[in-house]
Structure 1
Amino acid sequence: MAWEEWDQIKAEVTTRQADQMRLNQLAPERGGGGTTPDLASSPAKKQAAVKAINDDLEPGVERDGKHAAVSVSAVVKEFGARDGHGWDTSGALKKAHEAWEKQVKMLRGRLATEKGLLSATAIGLQNNDIDIAGQLAQQSRIDGY
């Protein structure tokens, strides 16, 4: 590829990125970029997210983590030292798997945290709604006039 072609490609990419980043246009009619909001603000949606984490994500991460551990352990053993000799691959796979296990553990912790926060948010928002409704329902001082 000639330098001229490379410069032309870079210029086209830069122009395309600039077009995508322009902020000098009117906002969409309903605000935001999409036609539907991304925020799951209803208690039902939060509970559905908690159920998905609980029923699908957490068991899947645990299952797949165990499967990978068994598979990698078998490979490490197969490539390990026999009669004083072994493959470097064995040690490298073992180190890589240890790092991967830490990441899986962190992911499981993050999922548990998100599940707890979703549940707490739903309860907190419901309590706020009840409190605000109670404040609004109080009789105003001018109602008696």
Structure 2
Amino acid sequence: MGMRLNHVPAGDAGGGTSGSGPVLASSSSEKLAAANAIDFTIKGATGNAGKFADVDTDAVVKAFAAGDGDGWLTSTAVKKAHSTWVDQSSNLVAMLTSDANALRQNSGTLYTGDVETASGVGKRSALDLISPQSDH
């Protein structure tokens, strides 16, 4: 059976951390490992996939282009489609770079947020300084 995107796989009720689904990387070491996987595996494979069709596409563009200036529309269309492919794969690599950088910075951000929240708990406000009225 092929991939289906409109259902929940058998044995997985969705949500939570139970089951065999992926687990959120929350420790600094897990985030660093995820960032390294993006940088050293996924980005490289994505870049290679983006370049994979270059030679074949150039051959198609040349084959459908005429030397006398009256080429087929297919040549121009394939060239334009390939240009779009190059732009999209470049954008994807840039997005992966951004995600990897965010993973590297995120562990410190969460820790800092926790420390800031903890330091604000229990502080006295200006209203605490107003003396309570007596109940005479």
Q: Structures share a fold, TM > 0.5?
A: yes
- Which range, TM-score by smaller chain? 0.5 to 0.7
Q: Which residue of 2 aligns with 1:86?
A: 71
Corresponding residue to 1:42 among 6, 21, 27: 27
Root-mean-square deviation over aligned CA pairs: 2.8
Write the distance in 1 (CA, Å) between the matches of 2:17 and 2:31: 21
Q: Which residue of 2 aligns with 1:120?
A: 105
Q: Which residue of 2 aligns with 1:95?
A: 80
Write the distance in 2 (CA, Å) between the matches of 1:123 and 1:110: 21
Aligned residues: 106
* Structure whose residues are more often helix by fraction: 1
Q: CA deviation at 1:99?
A: 1.2
Q: Which residue of 2 aligns with 1:142?
A: none
**Which aligned segments of 4 or more residues in structure 1 are displaced greater than 4 angstroms?**
126-129
| Matched residue type, 1:110 | M
| Matched residue type, 2:50 | G
Q: CA deviation at 1:71?
A: 2.2
Q: Runs of 5+ in structure 2 lacking a partner?
A: 1-6, 120-136
Q: CA deviation at 1:91?
A: 0.8
Write the distance in 1 (CA, Å) between the matches of 2:27 and 2:93: 25
When the two structures are superposed, what TM-score results if normalisation uses the length of structure 2? 0.64
Q: Runs of 5+ in structure 1 lacking a partner?
A: 1-16, 21-27, 136-145
Deviation string, structure 1 residues 124-143 (Cα, Å, up to 9, x no partner):
234456x47x96xxxxxxxx
